[in-house]
Structure 1
């Protein structure tokens, strides 16, 4: 797994940036430091002035890479989903049993992204924490339809489609495979958020709890 991921480069929509961050050490540092700051302070308190101070550069240098912090958040989100998609493909490859394959995909989605094997050698847990707290803010806004049309969420949607196809592979007669796939992906973030902030609204307080919950749900839904 590590060897396969060692040269991973996520193909992120080029409209999200003005200059490819992976093309220079400054660009890589911008993304890495952004992840650190957003994880620490949240997207509302984060701005390019604070980022410039953190990396010892200027705001204008950051604006050469990203138009605004919303685009940067979308870039970070795409990076996360791209890593998770790749891990899912690798972990489920050559698994003939449909249910085992689906559950392995679910287990993988609940794991920590292998970010250290990309250009952005940040803590995978920080990236996951950002997605848990901030991803909903990336698309709950007035311009979401335009951004969707522009392909800003293509990696996220592609991963959902992969799950949907796995669900259909388990039970071709199940009519709600797209909805169930979305529920799994959203749950991979939301249940962690609930556990951290609204403890009594979920029974899933660990990766194992979460996996067992979805195993129970999917088994009863698709095989009963």
Structure 2
């Protein structure tokens, strides 16, 4: 895991936007209020017209930044996963024991998300709820292969590959490293969704049980 921070920054594929929203006050406002509005009414009911009303601007002003709401959701997802990768890298920097590094990374992926004071226009805790509820809608589409070729999911895959590298540091002979890594990332989102909506088929509604402990316990049994 040499030079772990060397290629980490909050990077977004330029094809996802028409104008970089982080370069203007209006663009940041669009990001901030789109997160709040999607969380409130859901992605299906979300429209640029409603977003324009929310920010006190014309619908056309939103279209200057994003071609459609699918691209906006892809942008928000990429922002989230880039932020998550940065947190993983920073938390494991200079941590020597491979198993401890892996445990820390799993913690970052599975723990409840808190807002980051460094990004005032993004409420990460709310964005996390959107990722839990809406992220699969970014790739369960007919266009997924073409969008994948265009690199729209590179950051998401980078998070999984970073976790896979940490797993490999613990046990390089384990034959299903990438499948295990992707199962942890997706499983953590799924369990949080079940906790919020299907309480009878998950154990994590009980206060003494938490998702991080579940995955760490299982990873130890699998790799050690």
Per the normalisation by structure 2, the TM-score is 0.92
Q: How do 1:1-224 residues align onto structure 2 when only pairs under 5 Å count?
A: 10-111=10-111, 112=113, 114-118=115-119, 120-205=120-205, 209-223=210-224
Q: CA offsets, 1:9-64, max 9 Å, x none?
A: 61100000000001110000001000000000110000000000001111111101
2 CA distance for matches of 1:35 and 1:207?
Answer: 31
Unpaired runs of 5+ in structure 1? 1-7
Q: Is the 8 A contact 2:30 2:62 kept in 1?
A: yes
What is the match of residue 5 of structure 2? none
CA distance in 1, matches of 2:91, 2:151: 26
CA contact (8 A) 1:18 1:64 kept: yes
C-alpha distance in structure 1 between counterparts of 2:121 and 2:58, whole Å: 22
SS at match of 1:121: coil
Q: CA RMSD in A?
A: 1.6
**Which residue is equivalent to 1:5?**
none
Q: Check the 8 A contact 2:110/2:185 in 1, yes or no.
A: no
d(CA) in 1 for partners of 2:131 and 2:107?
17
Following superposition, which runs of at least 4 residues in structure 1 exceed 4 angstroms of deviation?
A: none
CA contact (8 A) 1:115 1:121 kept: no
Deviation at 1:188, TM superposition (A): 2.3
* Equivalent position SS for 1:116: coil
1:207 and 1:168 mapped to 2: Cα distance?
30
Residue deviations 1:143-169 (CA, integer Å, cap 9, x gap): 000001100011100111000011111
Q: Is the 8 A contact 1:66 1:72 kept in 2?
A: yes
The 3-state SS of whatever aligns with 2:117 is: helix
Q: State the shift of 1:114 in Å.
A: 4.4
